[in-house]
Structure 1
Amino acid sequence: MKIAILAITDKAQELADMLAGRMEEGAVVMKCRGNTVAAIQQAWRQFDALICIMATGIVIRAIAPLVLDKKTDPAVLVVDQNGRFVIPVLSGHLGGANDLALKVARHTGGQAVITTASDVSGHTALDLWISAHRLQISNPGAMAPVMARLVNTGKLNIYSDCGLPELPPDLARIFERETADIVITIKASGVEERQQDRIFLHPPALVAGIGCNRGTAAEMISAAVQETCLQADIAQEAIFRIASIDIKKDEKGLVEFALQAGVELRFFSAGQLNTVHGIEQSDVVKRATGAKGVCEPAAILASGGGTLLVKKQKWKDVTTAIARVTWPWWEQGQGR
């Protein structure tokens, strides 16, 4: 985390220097001379967290036109020049402002003033739980009302068609989708992006194998994957990785598609692909690449030997297949 500490007064500067020397993450001290608002806005673009030792009003006026999304906005803290109060004012959970406020308060001997409802009520912070498990949310507008329900009732019900990790005490698994507050699914059907009374989440549980002709544009690959998912009733958001043959490492369209979709990209040699049996084979592909097939074996290998949910689909200049991972989707951090 890149941290900037901004100070206006000499006393604030002393506190900033002390904090910068004690923080394990390291920090850059910025003495605001002249236009304080401009200095804050510059730091906003360059750092992951801003610790502003000044009046709250100055900070609010500076960041107001810049706030976009709690998933991308930097953490913003306000601290008085005596270090008595440390207030996270933006990105408390996903941006890490709440945790950072607690650290700063320990260094100053002051009090972290945490105002997020889940923290003060002792309940699970849903946005952090979702982020920690790499779940993709289809209807972010439902977060606030569902989180409010958790704070008010003390419990939320979760339905999943693909298993669940051990849950915190205030989240309970149920087996009736219709009565769930949170639905975790790899399917596309039944997901209402505008629905506000329940959250729809997609787990990192699927891998797409892709074969393509040389020079195929990212748009063509994207369209093929989208159509494959549509026909199979699969949520594309559940695809966290794509895979292909290693001679496609420099395939511009494939690399661009992976970047645009925000997914991992894995490659396998022809020899590795040929170790997979029971796939649809192609003499044309064998002559061109040395592999008996690409999309199906690539999907199977990249999913840890998973089951094909969608067998080879042929599109203009693109082939696709989709496999489900063999490990629990919540164990993505195990080096797989």
Structure 2
Amino acid sequence: TDPAVVVVDERGRFAVSLLSGHLGGGNELARRVAAILGGRAVITTASDVLGLVSLDLWARSQDLVPRDEKTMTRASALLVNKGSLCLYSEVPAASLPKGLVAVDRPEEADLVISSRADWPANTLVFHPRELVVGVGCNRGTPVREFAAALDEVLAARSLSPLAVRNLASLDLKRDEKGLREFAAIHGWEVVFYTKEELNRVAGITVSPAALKATGARGVAEPAALLSARTDILLMEKKKWPNLTLALAKAKFMLSALVREACNT
């Protein structure tokens, strides 16, 4: 994201948002500067002028990720040109901002919100970050093994890695280099739980090996469930030579909320 640039005239009458009005926070900064100087903010971004939602700010506020670099640009241009977008969402919506209209079928939609990765190439898709990956691993497991295992899991279910919210594991793995590096590559947080917390989770597959080594009845499944705050697994644990993964889906609800950015 480019840094925000706001230009003010010599008398402080106008604060003009010149660059990076939305994600860079230029528009909000212009409003703040104008308020301080007793002047007027000049906002020229098309969606603001037309009274429509700033799609990039809304997506960030809702924890939605465009499927690729061009999707946000295409969707924002379409919104400005049409005045509204038909939205098909696989996650529930409590409300939607001005300019987005819910539809019941994906073929009616201009924009789709889904964790799935198998949409046609020309479909405008935002991925909700709703997937939680529970991880158990041996000491010294390299990054490439984490990557290969998760790629296999997601591909088998046609899920996008952009829909992953975070990883979860046992607190004894806090210093596990491969796990930490793998999470850092993708910008994912790793949430850790004690064995006592994991052992309180009911309905999991007990692992004798994990119980003997760590005192936890299981790691991947209960960690995923705890972090996602659910009692239903999207995928029960799957084992590889050095690691175990489980998948859960966190509750996700769209709203009309848009948080302004101001990077100052």
TM-score by structure 2 length?
0.90
CA–CA separation in structure 2 for the residues paired with 1:151 and 1:230: 34
Is it true that 1:220 corresponds to 2:145 in the alignment? yes
Aligned partner of 1:42 in structure 2 is none
Can you list the C-alpha shifts for 1:197-232, whole angstroms capped at 9, x where unaligned? x52111121110001110112232122112111112
Is it true that 1:201 corresponds to 2:126 in the alignment? yes
Aligned partner of 1:230 in structure 2 is 155
Where 1:148 maps in the other structure, the secondary structure is helix
CA–CA separation in structure 1 for the residues paired with 2:73 and 2:116: 24
Where 1:233 maps in the other structure, the secondary structure is coil
Is it true that 1:100 corresponds to 2:29 in the alignment? yes
Q: Percent identity?
A: 44
Q: Which has the larger radius of gyration?
A: 1
Question: Contact conserved, 2:95 with 2:254, CA < 8 A, in 1?
Answer: no
CA–CA separation in structure 2 for the residues paired with 1:74 and 1:164: 32
Aligned partner of 2:225 in structure 1 is 300
Question: Contact conserved, 1:140 with 1:199, CA < 8 A, in 2?
Answer: no
Match of residue 328, structure 1, among 226, 235, 252: 252
CA–CA separation in structure 2 for the residues paired with 1:306 and 1:260: 29
Q: Which amino acid aligns with 2:11?
A: N
Per chain length, whose mean CA-contact separation is higher, i.e. which structure has more relative contact order (CA < 8 Å, sep 6+)?
2
Question: Contact conserved, 1:279 with 1:293, CA < 8 A, in 2?
Answer: yes
Match of residue 211, structure 2, among 286, 303, 311: 286
Paired residue total = 256
CA–CA separation in structure 2 for the residues paired with 1:109 and 1:286: 66
Aligned partner of 1:124 in structure 2 is 53
Where 1:123 maps in the other structure, the secondary structure is coil
Unaligned runs of 5+ in 1: 1-69
TM-score by structure 1 length?
0.72
Comparing 94-103 with 182-191, greater Cα deviation is found at: 182-191
Where 2:98 maps in the other structure, the secondary structure is coil
CA–CA separation in structure 1 for the residues paired with 2:144 and 2:85: 40
CA–CA separation in structure 2 for the residues paired with 1:318 and 1:330: 34
Aligned partner of 1:139 in structure 2 is 68
* Cα distance change on mapping 1:191 and 1:292 into 2, 3 Å: farther
Match of residue 18, structure 2, among 57, 82, 89: 89
- Taking the TM superposition and a 5 Å limit, the aligned residue runs for 1:252-291 are 252-291=177-216
- Cα RMSD between the aligned structures? 1.9
Runs of 4+ more than 6 Å apart: none
Match of residue 111, structure 1, among 40, 43, 51: 40
Match of residue 170, structure 1, among 76, 82, 99: 99
Match of residue 110, structure 2, among 168, 176, 181: 181
Q: CA deviation at 1:154?
A: 1.9
Where 2:87 maps in the other structure, the secondary structure is strand
Can you list the C-alpha shifts for 1:220-257, whole angstroms capped at 9, x where unaligned? 21221121111122222111011001111111111222
Unaligned runs of 5+ in 2: 258-264
Q: CA deviation at 1:290?
A: 0.9
Aligned partner of 1:27 in structure 2 is none
Is it true that 1:154 corresponds to 2:83 in the alignment? yes
Where 1:277 maps in the other structure, the secondary structure is coil
CA–CA separation in structure 2 for the residues paired with 1:111 and 1:189: 47
Is it true that 1:79 corresponds to 2:22 in the alignment? no
CA–CA separation in structure 2 for the residues paired with 1:239 and 1:329: 16
Where 1:300 maps in the other structure, the secondary structure is helix
